[in-house]
Amino acid sequence: MVGLMLKFKSNILAFTLVELLVAISLISTISAVSLMGFKEYLPKLRLKAAALQLKSDMQRAASFAAKTNCQYRIAFDRAKMFVKAGDYEIQKGNASHLADYLPEKQNQSFYIGRIDQQGVSILSWNNNPVFHPNGTIASLATITLKDINGQKLRVTTSMAGRILIKQ
């Protein structure tokens, strides 16, 4: 009986060291190729994220206008880019008196929006959009964002209150 217990089965299935090394080298090669493709795609993702952030802040200003029954605008002012280029400010006020606009306070501080995606900046804008309580937008605006590769996206507003992202 003791002699039977010492016999081992010789057809055990397992991977050899060579097979494991080949599998690891194939995985690393595929990973390297896909990583290069991802690095090329990353600036485009950042540009899209910045455009979505700006659109979200514009929708926020529109909802504040409806909620408080007061006009809001998003101010892009190159003379006082608030902290760095790419900052903008949500302001509450009256479009007939531009001096009446005040920065919107949030938790005892002013709300400053920011394009904080690395390599993305605000290239140009033609107006500061004004959001009315009835859902319309005056001072129609087109804000152009640019990434480090020179690709551009435009965030545009329509009179009916739509905010669109275009190439």
Domain range for 67 is 45-166
Q: Please give the tally of structural domains in the chain.
A: 1
**Would you say residue 2 lies in a domain?**
no
**Would you say residue 110 lies in a domain?**
yes
Tokens of 167: 């190439």
**Would you say residue 122 lies in a domain?**
yes
Contacts 24+ apart (CB under 8 A), 39-45: 43/119, 43/120, 43/147, 43/148, 43/149, 43/151, 44/147, 44/149, 44/151
Q: Which helix (H) or strand (E) holds 114?
A: strand 112-114
- Single pTM value for the model: 0.71
pLDDT tens digits for the chain (167 residues)?
A: 555 555 555 666 788 889 999 999 999 999 888 888 777 888 889 999 999 999 999 999 899 889 988 888 888 775 654 456 667 888 887 765 555 556 555 544 456 777 777 888 888 888 888 899 998 888 888 999 998 888 999 999 988 889 999 98
Distance (Å, whole) CA 22 – CA 81? 55
CATH for 159: 3.55.40.10
